[in-house]
Structure 1
Amino acid sequence: MSNAITMGILWHLIGAASAACFYAPFKKVQQWSWETMWSIGGVVSWIVLPWAISAALLPHFWDYYASFSAATLWPVFLFGAMWGIGNINYGLTMRYLGMSMGIGIAIGITLIVGTLMTPILNGQFGVLVGTPGGQMTLLGVFIALIGVAIVTRAGQLKERKMGIKAEEFNLKKGLILAVMCGIFSAGMSFAMSAAKPMHDAAAALGVDPLYVALPSYVVIMGGGAVINLGYCFIRLARMPSLSVKADFSLAKPLIITNVLLSALGGLMWYLQFFFYAWGHARIPAQYDYMSWMLHMSFYVLCGGLVGLVLKEWNNAGRQPVRVLSLGCVVIIIAANVVGLGMAN
């Protein structure tokens, strides 16, 4: 396995670790509605950081975006909005299925859709099934799905042991939302593929290869921001029990603390895709769609490891932890198999 591919896998692991940890600051927010907290974190991660970093990278910020036709920008934006819909459905999936079943189904579907549909849409599926390297990467995807299933099973055993139940368990509704989440969340993979002309243009301007994908985040995350912020604002406007005015009528020190914690959560959320761009840049062009598979499987891996570090499994007993450990090992094996496939 080449050093570039190894570094690409490592950056994807770091990005996934940030994704697994991003909600920790939000859990410390007190006496605020979820919508207010999520909106502030979202403004930081979907608007402020993409714009600020792109402005720092590009020598002529506005000229860069004006150089693209609507036919180039609209698919990138709409795939970003598609991914934003997946984000909302993700939270609702957890509500009706619980964390373990919800994550397992949603991540499993988005891993398959985001990884395999991209080469199909780009006419590269022949490379995937007709070459030894492609076949090995497919094997890695299959192994990753097994790892996700094992980690999901560990979570179910943990929830059963600890008496944790979904907030409003509804199998039919939850499965529908999980499938929608899995399909729509893959919009990020599609958006990155559609944004290749933007990456090439950034490279032509002298932007470092590690950063060429970052300017496209202004458009991709702009689509996600419209969906997520629109959802939050509509809920705040319609629900009498939710009020921005009430959230900001608290003591000033608590408001400042809540804003900073929400902003920190937004920063950590953005960093997952900052390092995703780094990892994506190190993956061979013919296998760049594997970035999504690595990100999703590592997300599940890091989520389990973070839970162990935070002692969330302390009262779950030995069997769930053993199953979790097995699932983590399988995901690590999957990443190595994919890396070997890309090296061939």
Structure 2
Amino acid sequence: MNSAIIAGICWHLVGAASAACFYAPFKQVKRWSWETMWSVGGITSWLILPWAVSAVLLPNFWAYYASFSLSQLLPVFLFGAMWGIGNINYGLTMRYLGMSMGIGIAIGVTLVVGTLMTPLLQGRFMELFASTGGRMTLLGVFVAVIGVAIVSRAGLLKERALGINAEEFNLKKGLVLAVMCGFFSAGMSFAMDAAKPMHNAAAQLGIDPLYVALPSYVVIMGGGAIVNLGYCFIRLATKSSLSVKADFSVAKPLLIANVLFATLGGLMWYLQFFFYAWGHAKIPPQYDFVSWMLHMSLYVLCGGLVGLLLKEWKSAGRRPVGVLSLGCVVIIIAANIVGLGLAA
């Protein structure tokens, strides 16, 4: 396994760690509705940061985007919106299935769909079976799904041990939402593939390979922003129990703290894809579809490790922790298998 591939996996790990920790600052927000909190964080991560980073990277911001036709930008935008729908469904999935079952199904579906659908649609899927590297890569994806399932099982054992139940458990509705969440969340993987002309154009401008994907985030996350912010704004405008005015009428010290924590959460949410771009740049082009598998499986791994560090599993007993540890090891093995496949 060469150093570039190792670096790619490590950058995906950094991005996944940021994703696993991003909600911690949001938990410090007090006396705000979820919609207001999510909107402030979202404006930071989906609008301000992508535009600011691209303005720094690009020699001529407007000329770069004007160089693409609507037919080139529209799929990138729509796949970003698709990813945004997945974000909304994620919260609803947790509501009806609980964290462990919801995460297991949603992440499992998005891992498989987001990873394998791209080569399938490009007609390259069967070619993967013709090479040793391709077969090992597919094996790594399969092992990663097993690892995610084991970690999810550990979470379910933990919830049972601690007496945690879904807010409004509904298996039928939850399963439908989990599958929808997994499918729509894969839109980020599809958007990155559709944005390759944008990446190539950025490279021709002399932008470092690590950063060439970042200008495309203006369009990708713009699609996600419209869906997420539209959902939040509609709820804030129509739900009598919600009020932006009330949220921003809290005491000034609390208001400042809430804005800072929500902004920090948005920054960490953006950083997962900032480093995703770095990891993606190090993956061989013929196997770039595995970036999504690495990101999602390492996200589950980091989520489990963060839970252990925060002692969330302390009272769950030895069995759930043992199953979690096994799942983490399996995901690490999967990442190594994929790495070997990329190097073959």
1:178 corresponds to 2:178:
yes
CA offsets, 1:118-137, max 9 Å, x none?
Answer: 11122221332221111100
CA offsets, 1:228-267, max 9 Å, x none?
Answer: 0000001001100000000011101100000000000000
TM-score by length of 2: 1.00
Q: 1:32 & 1:80 partners in 2: Cα distance? A: 27
Q: 1:179 & 1:141 partners in 2: Cα distance? A: 18
Q: Return the letter of the residue paired with 1:118.
A: T
Q: Return the letter of the residue paired with 1:106.
A: A
User: How many residues are matched?
Assistant: 344
Q: Return the letter of the residue paired with 1:191.
A: A
Map residues 319-338 of structure 1 onto 2, 5 A cutoff: 319-338=319-338
Q: Which residue of 2 aligns with 1:128?
A: 128
Q: Return the letter of the residue paired with 1:73.
A: L
Q: 2:154 & 2:14 partners in 1: Cα distance? A: 23
Q: Which residue of 1 aligns with 2:274?
A: 274
Q: Return the letter of the residue paired with 2:301.
A: L
Shift of residue 21, structure 1, vs aligned partner: 0.1
Q: Which residue of 1 aligns with 2:245?
A: 245
Q: Which residue of 2 aligns with 1:15?
A: 15
Q: Return the letter of the residue paired with 1:208.
A: D
Q: Return the letter of the residue paired with 2:255.
A: I
Q: 2:14 & 2:124 partners in 1: Cα distance? A: 28
CA offsets, 1:299-338, max 9 Å, x none?
Answer: 0000000000111000000110000000000000000000
Q: Return the letter of the residue paired with 1:91.
A: G
Q: Which residue of 1 aligns with 2:343?
A: 343
Q: 1:81 & 1:129 partners in 2: Cα distance? A: 33
Q: Which residue of 2 aligns with 1:234?
A: 234
Q: Which residue of 2 aligns with 1:110?
A: 110
Q: Return the letter of the residue paired with 2:264.
A: L
Q: Which residue of 2 aligns with 1:152?
A: 152
Q: 1:5 & 1:50 partners in 2: Cα distance? A: 26
Q: 1:239 & 1:133 partners in 2: Cα distance? A: 53
Q: 1:93 & 1:87 partners in 2: Cα distance? A: 10
Q: Return the letter of the residue paired with 2:242.
A: L
Q: 1:38 & 1:163 partners in 2: Cα distance? A: 28
**SS of 2:240 mapped into structure 1:** coil
Superposition misfits of 4+ residues, deviation over 6 angstroms: none
**SS of 2:209 mapped into structure 1:** coil
Q: Which residue of 2 aligns with 1:29?
A: 29
Q: 1:107 & 1:86 partners in 2: Cα distance? A: 11
Superposed CA RMSD: 0.5
1:257 corresponds to 2:270:
no
Shift of residue 53, structure 1, vs aligned partner: 0.2
Q: Which residue of 2 aligns with 1:204?
A: 204
Amino-acid identity (%):
79
Q: 2:161 & 2:295 partners in 1: Cα distance? A: 29
TM-score by length of 1: 1.00
Q: 1:228 & 1:122 partners in 2: Cα distance? A: 29
Q: Which residue of 2 aligns with 1:138?
A: 138
